[in-house]
Structure 1
Amino acid sequence: MRQWIQLVLAVGVFYCAGAWAQQAGSEQPDTEIKVVNAPQDQAIARRLTDITDSISGLENVEISVNSGVITLRGEVANDQLKDDITVIASRLEGVVHVQNQLQEQLAVRSRLAPATEKFREMLGTTIQMLPLLLLAVLAVVLFSMLGSWLARRNALLRRLGLSELATNLGMRFVRLIVTSIGILIALELLDATALVSAMLGVAGVIGIALGFAFRNIVENYLAGVLLSTRNPFAIGDFIQVDDMTGKVMRLTSRDTVLMTLDGNHLRIPNSQIITSPMTNFTRNPLRRFEFNVGVSVELDLVRVRELAISTLHSMPGILAEPRPRVLVQELGDSTVTIRIFAWLDQRDTDFLKARSEAIRLVKSAFDQAGIEMPEPIYRIHMANRAEKTDEQQPSPLQAATTPPEFRAATADAAAVDVSTDTTIEQQLNAELNQSDEQNLLPAATDKAAGKAG
């Protein structure tokens, strides 16, 4: 009985184990790959071959397909094509894997092949666009000729009173604008107007670079235009710029050339003349000179002033109107400083000669009149000093009123030479006649070739 029970239990356990195994087997996923209507390897190879034949640079690729695995061999032009064909092959239906064994071409001929092909395409495009290209070139040439013709018609700007340099600059702008219009029309015919923005951008960068590189040249050129338009001086004018003096020889587009009183050529950049104080001594023919004289504090300054004025009145070249003047400049410990002023006409009288002779004659008149021009001294006054009578201390000005001495000073003044010195003018004219350097100033006139010393 016990054996039957054990047998029944064993059969039950076996049956339950079989049922459990069948249930567990039915719950496992089906991992088998099923292919329905998968293309054959030959069809995959033909499809990929047609694709490679249509792409430039992939003509030499060898393709083999085995069980959906594609193997690529051969040479391609570059790595980009190598990656592209791998992506294309992996997207074909029925492809399981792609083995890329392609090599990049290293031969010079193969490297030049794409460039040659590109050149051929460009040549073909150029031949097709040749009529439009010729029309564009014709437009540029015609507008360039028109700009040149207009640039030679500068009579209008001349009538406006512009200088030669300003007129030339204006005509250059006219020519540039007309030529630029022709270039824009040519670009429009070639459907290349997008190049205009690029050209303007490049021109802006180049302009900034050139502006920094040639800043001084541009400043001097523009300053030359302003100077030739404003005409602050003429040929032969005696001018001073900062501490530099000389007579104007010529004005160029870059600098102004002066002849100094030593006969040297001095070139000053135009920009410095524009931005610096400038004195023109020739524009007004009348010019005043001045000098200081120190006299004793014990003198009658009214009589001193009268003697100096009478001496200058008797000197040739000194104008009666405006008349000479004598002013008290400073009162020192032992000296009174007086300042003497006098006017002359530079057209007839040399400035340096007249001033030199005026100083000499005033000193001579003061010496003859006994007027002291002392140096600074210290005086000691004693309590019991002897007082001198008026006869013991004759006034120095008494001699100044004596007719013989005054007549001697007048005769000395009549013998002075204050005529204009034409040495620099002669050298300047000789230089102008010999030199062929550009000169933007008009030809010298009698007034321009002033006699300033």
Structure 2
Amino acid sequence: MEFFQSIADTFQSVFIESDKWKHIALAIIYLIAGYIAVKTLRRILIPVIRKTMPRQIGRLLQNVIGVAIWTIALIQALSAMGIDVVSILGAAGVVGIAIGFASQTSLSNLISGIFLVGEKSVNIGDTIQISGFTGTIENIGLLSVKLRQADNAVVRVPNETLIKTPVVNITGDTLRRCDFDIGVAYDSDLSTVERLIHKVVTSQDTLATEPAPVVQFVAFADSALSLRVGAWCKTGDYLQARMEFAKNILQEFKEHGINIPFPIRTVEIVGNTDTPS
């Protein structure tokens, strides 16, 4: 309590005694100088960082420098106003013990962010899937990564989550495999079905012929023979390739009499089937 009382007394003397206004002015000057220093350093560093470092490292470095400069400016401003910064830092250490557990998550996210930047497993501009979300990385910050989804919604993912959770980097390569699950009627000629599938893949501009497409038998399903088609496309063409394949294979099956059956259920009614009067 004595410490907090000393802080209150200091602020009271600052605003009551007229000769303390010069200290207030000096503190304001320190804060303005800190603001100018942050803006100037960023203006100087940004062109250098863009030429010599990956974007995510550059943004992280800018944030660290900004926090460091503002911390120094704030300490100088408090000292100029006659506040005992050493006592404040000492009290902060005592309070820090009490709130240490609460800050564990932030510290973990900060350390995870450093690992993300150093490992370069994901980069700004990559499209990833994580914890049910799919989006493009717009920013890798000190504590979190910002994802923008296809519907323009922004998802904030803590850095720690990206370290502990499996992440699918969709744009990690120029090619991506499209998997299609298809069911055909039991009376279908599988050789004809396979030939038609290869015809569609080789004639479709958004699908690649190398690596070669694969047609696999999956199972004797309840109502159909289940097949799986694996074909490759450029990563950026993934959604368009899937839509075009669906339209083209349906057209080919229709022209050659290949049916994609609907599930059929036979219901038997046991007992008296007479309709009541």
TM-score range, shorter chain: 0.5 to 0.7
- 2:212 and 2:177 map into 1 onto residues whose CA distance is 10
8 Å Cα contact 2:113/2:140 also seen in 1? yes
Number of matched pairs: 199
Larger radius of gyration: 1
Could you say what secondary structure the match of 2:229 adopts? strand
Pick closer, same or farther for the CA change 1:166–1:249 going to 2, 3 Å.
Answer: closer
Mapped pair 1:356 → 2:243 = yes
Counterpart AA for 1:306: R
Counterpart AA for 1:222: I
Note the 1:190-229 alignment, pairs <5 A. Answer: 205-229=94-118
Counterpart AA for 2:160: S
- 2:199 and 2:63 map into 1 onto residues whose CA distance is 57
- 2:197 and 2:130 map into 1 onto residues whose CA distance is 33
Tell me by how many angstroms 1:234 deviates.
Answer: 1.9
Counterpart AA for 1:330: A
Mapped pair 1:329 → 2:218 = yes
8 Å Cα contact 1:254/1:270 also seen in 2? yes
Bigger helix share: 2
Which residue, 261, 268, 275 being the options, matches 1:374? 261
- 1:312 and 1:341 map into 2 onto residues whose CA distance is 10
- 2:144 and 2:63 map into 1 onto residues whose CA distance is 17
1:316 equivalent in structure 2: 205
8 Å Cα contact 1:166/1:225 also seen in 2? no
- 2:91 and 2:260 map into 1 onto residues whose CA distance is 75
2:119 equivalent in structure 1: 230
Mapped pair 1:276 → 2:165 = yes
Give identity over the alignment, percent. Answer: 32
Could you say what secondary structure the match of 1:299 adopts? coil
- 1:362 and 1:305 map into 2 onto residues whose CA distance is 11
Q: CA RMSD in A?
A: 3.5
8 Å Cα contact 2:125/2:138 also seen in 1? yes
Tell me by how many angstroms 1:163 deviates.
Answer: 4.1
Q: Deviations over 1:172-214 (max 9, x none)?
A: 99xxxxxxxxxxxxxxxxxxxxxxxxxxx98875443232132
8 Å Cα contact 1:311/1:362 also seen in 2? yes
- 2:131 and 2:265 map into 1 onto residues whose CA distance is 41
Q: Deviations over 1:336-356 (max 9, x none)?
A: 011111101225xx2111111
- 1:266 and 1:306 map into 2 onto residues whose CA distance is 43
8 Å Cα contact 2:178/2:230 also seen in 1? yes
Tell me by how many angstroms 1:334 deviates.
Answer: 3.6
8 Å Cα contact 2:108/2:160 also seen in 1? yes
Q: Deviations over 1:65-110 (max 9, x none)?
A: xxxxxxxxxxxxxxxxxxxxxxxxxxxxxxxxxxxxxxxxxxxxxx
- 2:239 and 2:63 map into 1 onto residues whose CA distance is 41
Could you say what secondary structure the match of 1:340 adopts? strand
- 1:325 and 1:376 map into 2 onto residues whose CA distance is 26
- 2:221 and 2:63 map into 1 onto residues whose CA distance is 61
Pick closer, same or farther for the CA change 1:272–1:325 going to 2, 3 Å.
Answer: same
Counterpart AA for 2:182: V
- 1:169 and 1:252 map into 2 onto residues whose CA distance is 10
Q: Deviations over 1:402-446 (max 9, x none)?
A: xxxxxxxxxxxxxxxxxxxxxxxxxxxxxxxxxxxxxxxxxxxxx
Tell me by how many angstroms 1:166 deviates.
Answer: 7.1
Tell me by how many angstroms 1:375 deviates.
Answer: 2.0
TM-score w.r.t. the length of structure 1 is: 0.39
TM-score w.r.t. the length of structure 2 is: 0.62
Pick closer, same or farther for the CA change 1:353–1:215 going to 2, 3 Å.
Answer: same
Note the 1:415-434 alignment, pairs <5 A. Answer: none
Counterpart AA for 1:228: V
Could you say what secondary structure the match of 1:232 adopts? coil
2:131 equivalent in structure 1: 242
Pick closer, same or farther for the CA change 1:366–1:219 going to 2, 3 Å.
Answer: same
Could you tell me which runs of 5 or more consecutive residues in structure 2 were left unpaired when the two chains were aligned. 1-40, 42-51, 69-89, 267-277
Mapped pair 1:343 → 2:222 = no
Note the 1:5-404 alignment, pairs <5 A. Answer: 163=57, 165=60, 205-347=94-236, 350-377=237-264
- 1:167 and 1:378 map into 2 onto residues whose CA distance is 64
- 1:255 and 1:378 map into 2 onto residues whose CA distance is 51
1:412 equivalent in structure 2: none
8 Å Cα contact 1:221/1:253 also seen in 2? yes
